[in-house]
Amino acid sequence: MLWHAHASKLWDRFVIDVRRRLASAVGLVQARFAERARLSFARVAEYQKRAAVHVHAVVRLDGPNGPADEPPAWGTTGLLVDAVRASARRVVVRTPYSPAVGELALCWGAQIDARPLRANGDGPDDDAVAAYVAKYVTKGASDIGAGTDHPLTNRTDIESAPVSEHVRTLMRTCWRLGSLPEYAPLRLRTWAHTLGYRGHILTKSRAYSTTYAALRAERARHLGHVDMPDVVTERHWRYVGSGHTPGAALIAAGVADDLARNREAAHNAFHQAEVGR
């Protein structure tokens, strides 16, 4: 759980170390690296069946102005792969000291797989890279039962969550660690539903590809939300109504009643277990 909470910081240290290694390998001062090249990436976090976060990333070396710029002659695939592997084995993040847990040194796991991706060559093309990233973006914690899609407001929510006993144990661990003052900045109770992981599922560097602002502008242009020559757009809106139909309202009321009874039963079972202890 503490590894999950520090995963984003571990990734930041990894990216910084890759830049340092690339600069050092070609005899550059680190401060001058940005004048010669730019390191770009897209990172996706995937929950495995054992509820541990697994990171998939596409790392690219561009010229100093981004993807439209050719990388420097020394920016070979082999150099980048070596830097990625070395940095993944080297970087460490240490947790704050806790009388209950101690100080932990967090690092990447031993299973590191770095391989070249090529467009218009013998390797995967652009569409294959996009599909590779999209495959893991569409998988959330709740898809494999590794968490829930909503925050937990109290410990009772953990006991009634539709997850395995293994995941429930991890949630309880987050809840207990979240009560320790030394871990307060991690907000572990707030992120107990994602097992302590508080980063975005998809993270990319600024110059990796297009921006969300550009995508929104393109979507607006496609839908006709901006002025375009020789295009006439007519829309007429009329309020129809809101809420359930009478039949749907009865169904919704029954579902809400069932959920309330389930929560009450889980709450009673939890308190009975606490009394039994």
Domain assignment present for residue 243? The answer is: no
Instruction: Give the model confidence (pLDDT) of 147-167 as tens digits.
Output: 788 888 888 999 988 888 999
Residue at token pair 């709740």? 142
User: What is the total count of domains within the chain?
Assistant: 1
Q: Which of 75-84, 132-141, 184-193 has the lowest mean pLDDT?
A: 132-141
What range does the domain containing 65 cover? 2-145+195-216
- Residue 254 burial (CB count, 10 A): 10
- Residue 55 burial (CB count, 10 A): 18
This prediction's pTM: 0.71
Domain assignment present for residue 19? The answer is: yes
Domain assignment present for residue 252? The answer is: no
Domain assignment present for residue 222? The answer is: no
Instruction: Give the model confidence (pLDDT) of 240-264 as tens digits.
Output: 777 777 778 888 888 888 888 888 8
d(CA 83, CA 22): 6
Domain assignment present for residue 223? The answer is: no
Instruction: Give the model confidence (pLDDT) of 12-63 as tens digits.
Output: 999 999 999 999 999 998 889 999 999 999 888 888 888 899 898 889 999 9
Domain assignment present for residue 256? The answer is: no
- Could you write out the DSSP letters of every residue in 221-274? HHHT-S--TT------------S--HHHHHHHHHHHHHHHHHHHHHHHHHHHHH
Domain assignment present for residue 55? The answer is: yes
Domain assignment present for residue 227? The answer is: no
